Amino acid sequence: MAKSLVVVESPAKAKTIQKILGRGFQVLSSMGHVMDLPKSRIGVDVDNGFEPSYVVIKDRKKVLGDILEAARTVTTVYLAPDPDREGEAIAWHIAESIRADALKKKGRKKKEDAAKPKTPVEIRRVMFHEITKKGITQGMANPLDLDRQRFDAQQARRILDRLVGYTLSPLLWNKVQRGLSAGRVQSVAVKIVCDREKQIGAFLPEEYWSLTARFSGALPPSFLARLSEAGGEKVRPRTGDETQALKAAVENGPFAVKEVKKKTRRRSAPPPFTTSKLQQEASRSLRMQPYKTMMVAQTLYEGVDIPGAGLVGLITYMRTDSLRVADEALLAVRDHIRATYGEPYLPEVPNQYKNRKSAQDAHEAIRPTSMEYAPEQVKSILSRDQFRLYELIWKRFVASQMTPAEFDQTTIDILCDPAGAPAGGYLFRATGSVPRFSGYLEVYQESVDADATTSATDPDKEDPDTQLPPLAEGERLELAELLPAQHFTQPPPRFSESSLIKELEEQGIGRPSTFASIVKTIKDRLYVRLEEGRFRPTELGNVVTDLLQSSFPRVMAVSFTALMEEELDQIEEGEREFRQTLEDFYKPFSEELAEAHIAMPNVKNELIATGIPCTACGGEMVIRVGRAGRFLACRNYPECKSTANFRETLDGKVEILPDEAAGVDCDKCGKPMIVRRWKGARYIACSGYPDCRNSKPWPTGVKCPECHDGDMVERVSRFGKMFFSCSRYPDCKFASWTKPIALACPECGFPAMTERTRKSGETLIACLRKGCKGRREPAGPIAVPDGNAG
């Protein structure tokens, strides 16, 4: 019989740890939380010190019963849920249940008591930062007491979220529509997306011009240089006439090299991954959604079955914002770099990285648990997603302890000083660089968001990778051509999944364990939608955000949400009492809530007059709010069911958006088909709705490359992500996450390819057939067919 019981969160982890600990230990899984606030009521007594009323989760009653039964037969219980606040709460609830169960012994029969230990069971908390033999041994050798402060921090967060969610959501049901939800953090995340959209809508582009010259010297290649100064002053022409005047002034030269400046530029290695940086990089380079990234990382942490070694956790704990790395791990990776890449790639001392001020240092950065298991070595036993994510973590960790990359950067100033030129003449500047030493780039290059890449049309963004010929001061140059170009300033970009997580982290909203769930929640609630990889607020998101912002400006403030996160950290550090934090929050919040019940507009029943006549019955079209947001509907509903989409002009007027014709007639009633959208994906529907409900998915204009009979059409997954599949589904199950292009693969002849983006931001055309690496380099603008209903 086992002498000790170990309780962990997941069955996979339990299996791994049981194999490591062996006989003498029984390892059980709690399957996550076993207790929580009740779903049917708020479960918090605000008049009695915010006392929570925890209940056993219905699906966990048997699990908890098995744990209690096992605890009655052992002398020591080791509680080993994940080493974070949620794990501490799980451990605390299990410990309280065990103690409560022990008190019931007094009423048991003596015959039953005789079989039980005579000494009270000892309960200890253990932390496993990596699921390896070393990590488990170290954790078991250093048991701890349960951490009341960490548990209180989790309680405070849970109660805060319950107070906000269970009071604001019913308010929205009354004022907008049933089924809506609001949250202390999720609503602020939606507000960030909405605010960015307002910035884009209010942005007024400004025109400016550039003048670029193509020069050739005694040796190739020819190169480009931009006009940067005129008469010693920075130049940025605002109009085409200004640019033409500058062109006329310099087109006859002469041109000579004024100065050649060379310097060595060093690019330091990036630090190992934290949770948010892993989610951002996986989103950019692997096209992996943050929530999925965390699910895959969890399996790598809990352990995979490696032949000859058994179950091994391949990475350290994946919820962390610390950049700390254990000394033994630094020694191991330095030995790996020395043996694999040589001494020039190994810094004299290990690279050290400074944590953010708000970072918790309880866990290490995310890294491989052992340098013995290189990605290629375990590729055959990992799933595709596991391998891609493990390889990313491995390369980032190895690169983080390598020497900087070095580049020879050259800046060439070219003077044009014709007769009549202002004092100092006209100065053109070219910048380029040549790799000198690859350093950490030998292993890993960090990807960038599309909006952060260099734009060839923006003269204010120089391209440091331009190849320049060897030139000497005073050398005369030949002008090949002058290239005036018109530009317009651009609005701030919409958030991608990775850039939204970056924004949340920088604003101090949420913690490493919550970033992925925040992004998933606001998508699932249909407050935002992804279009071409970028977030746009839905009409519903805008309506709800505006209502909450006007009634709860304090709760919706980004700075206030960040302050609450700091206070939760202070509770964990023992610097603040959690009930006081709840009291400070709830008193003004309850006052705002009472006022909102009276003052918040009831848009659910509010019919906003527009003065626009209904085309069906002649009545008036009014603005209503539905599941997808605001829309126009006839005031005579339900007798008249006419509806329409609309937009508001800058002066506040309402305009009906004309239906977009699909180009075909309905095959059921003969009326024209029109284009509709659902969660960002297009489809075509009969204009005779609701009398005729015929609809079809939107074709891309590309035949299915697998069955050759169906058309590739736009569809939306249950998680709101657009994909493309054969119209003959389920007879043909071919599908792709990226839009197909009617081009044949040069390698395998597969009749469909797709556009993909490299880490550098460049695009290429890749084969859609699984396993084929066929590529086409785009020679110019990519002509992507966009089907119509015909």
Measure the CA–CA gap between 599 and 442, rounded to whole angstroms.
62
CB 259 within 8 A of CB 473: yes
Q: What angle do CA 369, 372, 376 make, to 5 degrees?
A: 100
Neighbour count for residue 667 (Cβ, 10 Å): 10
Class of residue 235 by CB neighbours under 10 A (exposed 0-12, middle 13-18, buried 19+): middle
Which alpha helices (DSSP H) does 484-538 contain, by range?
A: 497-507, 515-524
Kindly give the pairing relationship between strand 763-767 and strand 753-757: antiparallel
Which positions are annotated as active-site residues?
Answer: 317
3-class state of residue 534 by DSSP? strand
* DSSP code per residue over 262-286: EEEEEEPPPPPB-HHHHHHHHHHHH
Neighbour count for residue 9 (Cβ, 10 Å): 21
Distances (CA, A) of 440 to 48, 277, 397, 405, 781: 58, 18, 10, 6, 34
Measure the CA–CA gap between 387 and 375, rounded to whole angstroms.
7
**Beta bridge pairs of residue 683:** 676, 697
Q: How far is CA 64 from the centre of its chain?
A: 35
Place of tokens 């405070």: 156
**Torsions phi, psi of 179, nearest 5?**
90, -5
Which alpha helices (DSSP H) does 669-777 contain, by range?
A: none
Q: What angle do CA 175, 180, 185 make, to 5 degrees?
A: 110
Smallest Cα–Cα separation from 625: which of 179, 182, 177?
A: 177
Measure the CA–CA gap between 18 and 402, rounded to whole angstroms.
37
Q: Which two tokens stand for residue 86?
A: 């949620």
Place of tokens 């000579």: 256
Q: How far is CA 643 from the centre of its chain?
A: 35
Q: Which two tokens stand for residue 283?
A: 């989103």
**Beta bridge pairs of residue 5:** 26, 77
CB 765 within 8 A of CB 753: yes
Place of tokens 């609309």: 646
**Torsions phi, psi of 204, nearest 5?**
-110, 110
Strand order in the sheet with 643-644: 608-613, 620-626, 629-634, 643-644
Which residues fall within 8 angstroms of residue 405, CB to CB, at 6 or more apart? 266, 267, 435, 437, 438, 439, 440, 441
CB 347 within 8 A of CB 398: no
The answer to whether the Cα torsion of 292, 297, 298, 299 is positive or negative is positive
CB 604 within 8 A of CB 625: yes
Euclidean distance between the first and the last CA atom of the chain, given in angstroms as a whole number: 73
The size of the chain, in residues, is: 790
The answer to whether the Cα torsion of 255, 261, 262, 266 is positive or negative is negative
